[in-house]
Structure 1
């Protein structure tokens, strides 16, 4: 299960929480609209359909229990404020690129920064024949690292050869250097095309 989660992190940042919350809000809005439509069409009785939106019974209950209504409104408002702030911070926070601790022995700690790892893999990748440029990002967690690699290939490059060299040389070397058996990697390939020619 953890390997699958790490692989998804390599492919891209997860927005599952934001999507789930948005879907829940949408479902509540749809249900509220459907309920209003059913009542307004008179399917629950014409008397109920002709009553005002602010039901006099509900308004009377709120007037009789003003203190409890105010407390409930304040609690709901605070909860919505906290939820909104959490949603905003989570959506705007940058993606984490954790450093990797290869040795945590006191006095002999060994840490590889995310920038160093990305730079080393990027340098090795750019040595592959047919690769014009490479951009590497270290993602995942300290315990389960992953890579996200974007490759720009020269026109006419052998994609199969590039893929094999990337696996047999670059990624194998990275796994051996980090001392891990698996290193989930998401790879994006882009083909550089010749620039537009001017017609004379």
Structure 2
């Protein structure tokens, strides 16, 4: 299993645990255990709406220490920030920031090509195709096997088939040859008008 898959699995498990804990507290606050006969253990304090989660002794134990509440809120803030950073990192990992291409001049040593530079080159080439008003290209997948996702906005009256042919034989073929990639898979979305979207793979 890849590192990305492990991270997303762990993130999903953490989310499920937090969701289960929140649902349990909500069920206790609304007395759903008795109303809906959920069968939760009666000795769980979180299932009793009349019983606080923390008793008086726990709530007042550190009240006399001035450092307690600042440290507590700071720790919770750090945990929340780390969780948000972790989530955003998983969402960004779908993009290919670098493309690995072999270079015969360096004895087969892999060369790194910026993924956004290659995507920008394909975008510029696609917008030169007759009938294309605007293009947007993203590279996703692995560094040694990138996958182009292309969104094209066609001008009124433009035919999709010639545009796709020109896209494959022009910008995409140029990107394959210039980067040394043996293959560059691409998905193209053509928006012909605001109410119709044709997806071609």
User: Structure 1 length normalisation: TM-score?
Assistant: 0.56
Structure 2 vs 1, CA of residues 184 and 26 (structure 1 numbering), >3 Å: closer, same or farther? farther
User: Structure 2 length normalisation: TM-score?
Assistant: 0.56
Deviation of the 1:16 alpha carbon: 8.3
State the match for 1:126 in structure 2: 127
Structure 1: runs of 5+ lacking an equivalent: 6-14, 68-75, 194-200
Secondary structure of 1:135 counterpart: strand
Are the counterparts in 1 of residues 96 and 143 from structure 2 also a CA contact under 8 Å?
Answer: no
State the match for 1:30 in structure 2: 23
Distance in 2, Cα, partners of 1:31 & 1:53:
14
Higher helix share: 1
State the match for 1:9 in structure 2: none
Deviation of the 1:173 alpha carbon: 3.5
Deviation of the 1:118 alpha carbon: 1.9
Determine if the alignment matches structure 1 residue 160 to structure 2 residue 161.
yes
Distance in 2, Cα, partners of 1:192 & 1:156:
10
Higher strand share: 2
Given candidates 85, 88, 97, the residue that maps to 2:81 is: 85
Are the counterparts in 2 of residues 98 and 141 from structure 1 also a CA contact under 8 Å?
Answer: no
1:166-181, aligned counterparts within 5 Å?
166-181=167-182
Distance in 2, Cα, partners of 1:17 & 1:167:
39
Aligned length: 171
Are the counterparts in 2 of residues 147 and 185 from structure 1 also a CA contact under 8 Å?
Answer: yes
Deviation of the 1:135 alpha carbon: 2.3
State the match for 1:100 in structure 2: 99
